[in-house]
Amino acid sequence: MLETDVLEAFQDTMRHIAAPVFAITTRHQGQRYGIIATAFSSVSFDPPSLLTCVNKDTSIHDPMMSADLFCVNVLGNINRDVADCFAMKKGDDRFSVGEWIDQHDMPVLANAQSSLVCRTRDRHRFGSHTIFVGEVIAARHRDNAKPLTYYNRRYIDISQAPDLA
């Protein structure tokens, strides 16, 4: 397989993996920053920890390199407006849609499916991205939320998926 074929096949693969959608946020020197991300994994329960991969070219990258904390907001279907706002706006204007509250001084989306405030425990540069490993220090969760999902370049509602049975 040629190199370009591998890249295309990888991109095609990733496009067809349905992924939950996150608003990654932080605050640094009084300024709020946020991006939409799908690159997320839990790492361990001991300690409770997760990772997210952030492109070095994004506005949140350098603040996340300096800040001690960040927040992973797991978006539900009702937070689609927040995802759209993040895509259309820049800087603090990204927080103009949705009710954003402070927890540990981090921007937390009040009606997200879940919000996990993390202390950054490790930063690992790889290729175009930095992998941020965070230890969860505070968590909020909304029962019965339906996850916003990204699939084949668009947002879908997996609660509408037909039963497999």
Ligand X SMILES: Cc1cc2nc3c(=O)[nH]c(=O)nc-3n(C[C@H](O)[C@H](O)[C@H](O)COP(=O)(O)O)c2cc1C
Binding site for ligand X (CB under 6 A): 21, 35-39, 53-55, 58-60, 87, 90, 150
Report how far Cα 77 is from the mean position of its chain's Cα atoms.
Answer: 14
Six token digits for residue 91: 């800087």
CB 94, min distance to ligand X, A? 8
Residue nearest to ligand X (CB): 39
Cβ atoms < 10 Å from Cβ of 71? 27
CB 58, min distance to ligand X, A? 4
Instruction: Decide whether 29 or 144 has the Cβ nearer to ligand X.
Output: 29
Instruction: Decide whether 87 or 158 has the Cβ nearer to ligand X.
Output: 87
CB 165, min distance to ligand X, A? 30
**Peptide bond preceding 48: is omega within 30 degrees of 0, i.e. cis?**
no
